[in-house]
Structure 1
Amino acid sequence: MERVSNMVSERPLVIFSRSNCGICHSVKSLIGGFGVHPTVYELDEISRGQEIEQTLARRLGNNPAVPAIFINGELVGGANEIMSLHLRGMLRPMLIRAGALWV
């Protein structure tokens, strides 16, 4: 988990994804729709991506490992959590507080 912590600690918004994942694409499109440019790690395209994905799977429990979204270094969750935050009007304020989105 230390490697993941290092990857997310210096960025306001980090998404761990797979380049061929439709749900990941939807989450990235939703966030991009706010005008936010997250740091995205495509786990099928980086070294040790499979190891990182296994770490995320353990951390998320039974949920799929990707997408995994970190805001301000904290794991927010996967697609369900992001969509829920968006529908409740809470995602945009979180992104603003994290410094990922300027008003």
Structure 2
Amino acid sequence: MDRVNELAKSKAAVIFTKSSDCMSHSIKSLFYELGASPAVYEIDRDPRGRELEMALQRLGCKPTVPAIFIGGMFVGSAKDVLAAHLTGSLKDMLIAAKAIWF
């Protein structure tokens, strides 16, 4: 759990993904389109990936990826981020965390 928290605070926007997950790809693309450059951790390519996945599950990530953190805080999964994007609050969160500037 400590490693997840440490990585989540490593950058203004952090996405835990799996390299073959289509929703992870979609969320990364959304962040890039909004002008953010998130830290992306592909847990299936990390030697300690299983440990990260179990920690994400303990945080309540179901499914475990994509798991999105903004400003060091857990935002949620793809559906949570997409819902925030539709209401406009995702952009506000990214601005507040200084992941994007306007």
Please say if 1:6 is aligned against 2:6: yes
Shift of 1:10: 3.0
CA RMSD of aligned residues (A): 1.0
Q: Give deviations 1:34-88, integer Å, cap 9, x for gaps.
A: 1111000000111201110111012115x20000000011100000100000001
What is residue 101 of structure 1 aligned with on the other side? 100
CA distance in structure 2 between the partners assigned to 1:64 and 1:8 by the alignment: 18
CA distance in structure 2 between the partners assigned to 1:36 and 1:4 by the alignment: 20
Task: Report runs of 4+ in structure 1 exceeding 4 Å deviation.
Answer: none
What is residue 75 of structure 1 aligned with on the other side? 74
Extract unaligned runs of 5+ from structure 2.
Answer: none
Number of aligned residue pairs: give it: 102
Opposite residue 76 of structure 1, the aligned amino acid is V
**Range with greater deviation from structure 2 (21-30 or 1-10):** 1-10
Residue aligned with 1:44, SS:
helix
TM-score by length of 1: 0.94
